[in-house]
Structure 1
Amino acid sequence: MPVINNYTDINEFLTASDIDIQMRFRDFVIFQWDDRKIYNCLNDIPYRNHFFEITFQQNGHPVKLDHYNFSGEGNKLFFVNPYRLQSCDADGTYSVNGFTILFTPEFLHTASMGHYKQQEVPLSNYFSNPEIVLTEKATAGFTELFKKMSEEYQQEDNSFSRSIIQHYLQIVFLLAQKYAEPEPVTGPVANRPQEIYNRFMNLVQQYSRQQSGVRFYADKMHLTTKHLSSTIKTISGMTALQIIHNARIHHAKSLLRQTSSTISEIADSLHFENPDYFSAFFKKHAGINPLKYRQS
């Protein structure tokens, strides 16, 4: 089985990363990289966080997220969902500048400014490139916004801080959506089919390494497989099974790129019957066999 660390608790991750910061809220933390004397890459072992991450980078270090590689150069914003595979190279010294926010879904659900709708924020994008490249003007705006959020987080005697930070976070989402989607989005911001799709994508991100059948997800959502499949097809243009298959290929690519696990170990970790079936499945959906993909 591939060696991967899983962090279900924010404080557990901070401790493992040698990030010495006092958590004010159990479900939210913000820290500035400039203040950190050490940025620990967790001994080169890939890891998955079971919570959200937003990183505002002005100068960073090379990282891998799923099967994407990022150089650490330039002004960027990263929106990372739970369960995405991350790693970085512990060798080398890098000048790191920017902010990172870690928070649980509950922190969003308890926001004071209306009901949280996941499709309104970039965090609803579970498998795609998490990076937003920022202009100088956008960088200046985010710098000011993250500084204000950090300053508010440190106001321990202010009982309004949690609500204020939640509002700042909503502004981060809105600005990120502005720069990620220049054209205005029209139509209703929420409806039942969209909610079903969002919930399904969340479950696929969480369980597709172990579960490949549509019925599992339909049962989780208390829906019939027919209703789930037709709803997903209407929203995305893809069947539910296609999305599950794509997610499994996504996880396989991540393991091929970020671990040295054998094909047999990866097949086993993704609950395929045998390595040959996994290789055939991978080639059918990725257009290349797993070994050639790893070498590419």
Structure 2
Amino acid sequence: MNDELIKLNVNKATQAVKPEKFKDLFLIHIEESTNTAATSYLFEDCFIFLCLEGNETFFINEKQYLVVPNTILIVPPSYLIRKSEGIYQFKAKGVFFPIDLVAKHFNGKEYNLTEMLRTVSCFEVSYENMNELLEFYYFLEKQYEKAVNTYTTPIISNLVFTFLVKIREMYSSTNNTSNFESKSRKISITERFFDLVSSNYKNERTLMFYADKMCLSPKHLSTTIKKTTGRPALIWINEYVILKAKYLIKTTDMSFSEIGDYLNIPNQSFFSRLFKKYTGLTPKEYAKS
């Protein structure tokens, strides 16, 4: 993959765009745009978007998802979402928030909200249902745009909670045969794995380290990650390393040797081989591309 890695979380987004707004929520408007470079995003918080027009293909942890009009896409924390190079062909509304925003104020177990937010889901709803969700979205947006005061947190938390319960209701009424309850154990392991990798990939690259952290056998961890993502756990660990290396090559003045040291890669020769294995290019060739 020849894309860049961009890490996104709600606090960073809010501080960068609207620092005066409620810090635990960020609303996104996606419009059809001009040609864009291939990009990978690591969402450190939950992301839900509602596709209104057009269609687009995304790869989430390298599993392909087609988004069409009236599609709801849920991306859990610590998942990689990639869009290939090209023109955005859709319009959508997005809601970006920490997974504990609702949990801090409500017990969502009755509606399986936590499991829903830890599971990648992509499903279509009726035109009428999408319009109903948009009504919730626009009212949430109206409250979000107001100045922060004593009542902002409970108002927005209640609205997000209602928004999520409505999505959960719509999911339940679709013909989607998967369900959050049966997936919960594997999804929980997968989410925890990616959370650990995103924090430790610079120093820890053995399957044993992550298995020990999760009190699992390496075989169990490897099998679970392969089943839920279609790729081996070790590939994902190295993918994080390579994505970070790409980002540093394109955005900093660090030498290849310095990047290798920063990523705790033993020597320049190994760095070059590893980089080429995953990108098809040497670091020098990638820097010029």
- Note if contact 1:113-1:167 (Cα within 8 Å) is conserved in structure 2: no
Q: Which amino acid is 1:168 matched to?
A: F
TM-score (norm 2): 0.59
Deviation per CA, 1:77-132, whole angstroms, max 9, x where unpaired?
A: 896856979xxxxxxxxxxx9976543232154454434445x45x756xxxxxx9
Structure 2: where are the runs of 5+ without partners? 30-40, 53-68, 82-90
- Note if contact 2:193-2:210 (Cα within 8 Å) is conserved in structure 1: yes
Deviation per CA, 1:130-154, whole angstroms, max 9, x where unpaired?
A: xx9xxx9999676544212123455
Where does residue 285 of structure 1 map in the other structure? 278
The alignment status of 1:252 with 2:245, answered yes or no, reads: yes
More strand by share: 2
Where does residue 19 of structure 1 map in the other structure? 18
Partner of 1:222, secondary structure, is coil
Where does residue 149 of structure 1 map in the other structure? 140
- Note if contact 2:102-2:108 (Cα within 8 Å) is conserved in structure 1: no
- Once the 2 structures are TM-superposed, how far is the Cα of residue 272 of structure 1 from its aligned partner? 0.8
Q: Find the aligned partners of 1:160 and 1:100 in 2 and give their Cα distance.
A: 19
Where does residue 106 of structure 1 map in the other structure? 100
Q: Find the aligned partners of 1:98 and 1:275 in 2 and give their Cα distance.
A: 43
TM-score (norm 1): 0.58
Where does residue 66 of structure 2 map in the other structure? none
Where does residue 178 of structure 2 map in the other structure? 186
Structure 1: where are the runs of 5+ without partners? 34-46, 59-74, 86-96, 126-131
Where does residue 94 of structure 1 map in the other structure? none
Partner of 2:178, secondary structure, is coil
**CA 275–109 in structure 1, closer or farther in 2 if over 3 Å, else same:** farther
The alignment status of 1:206 with 2:196, answered yes or no, reads: no
Residues 73-92 of structure 1 mapped to structure 2, 5 A cutoff: 81=77
Partner of 1:190, secondary structure, is helix
Deviation per CA, 1:12-56, whole angstroms, max 9, x where unpaired?
A: 7644x2624243xx6x234688xxxxxxxxxxxxx9985456678
Count how many residue pairs are aligned between Structure 1 and Structure 2: 246
The alignment status of 1:265 with 2:264, answered yes or no, reads: no
Where does residue 295 of structure 1 map in the other structure? 288
Partner of 1:147, secondary structure, is helix
Where does residue 57 of structure 2 map in the other structure? none
Q: Find the aligned partners of 1:274 and 1:236 in 2 and give their Cα distance.
A: 30
Residue 25 of structure 2 is aligned with which of 25, 29, 34?
29
Residues 35-184 of structure 1 mapped to structure 2, 5 A cutoff: 51-52=45-46, 81=77, 101-110=95-104, 111-114=106-109, 115-117=112-114, 120-121=116-117, 143-153=134-144, 154=146, 156=151, 159=154, 161-169=156-164, 171=166, 184=176
The alignment status of 1:241 with 2:234, answered yes or no, reads: yes
**CA 220–292 in structure 1, closer or farther in 2 if over 3 Å, else same:** same
**CA 124–51 in structure 1, closer or farther in 2 if over 3 Å, else same:** same
After the TM superposition, which of the residue ranges 49-58 and 251-260 deviates more from structure 2?
49-58
**Pairwise CA RMSD of aligned residues?**
5.1
Q: Which amino acid is 1:103 matched to?
A: F
After the TM superposition, which of the residue ranges 200-209 and 149-158 deviates more from structure 2?
149-158
Q: Find the aligned partners of 2:164 and 2:263 in 1 and give their Cα distance.
A: 35
- Once the 2 structures are TM-superposed, how far is the Cα of residue 279 of structure 1 from its aligned partner? 0.8
- Note if contact 2:25-2:98 (Cα within 8 Å) is conserved in structure 1: no
- Note if contact 1:55-1:99 (Cα within 8 Å) is conserved in structure 2: yes
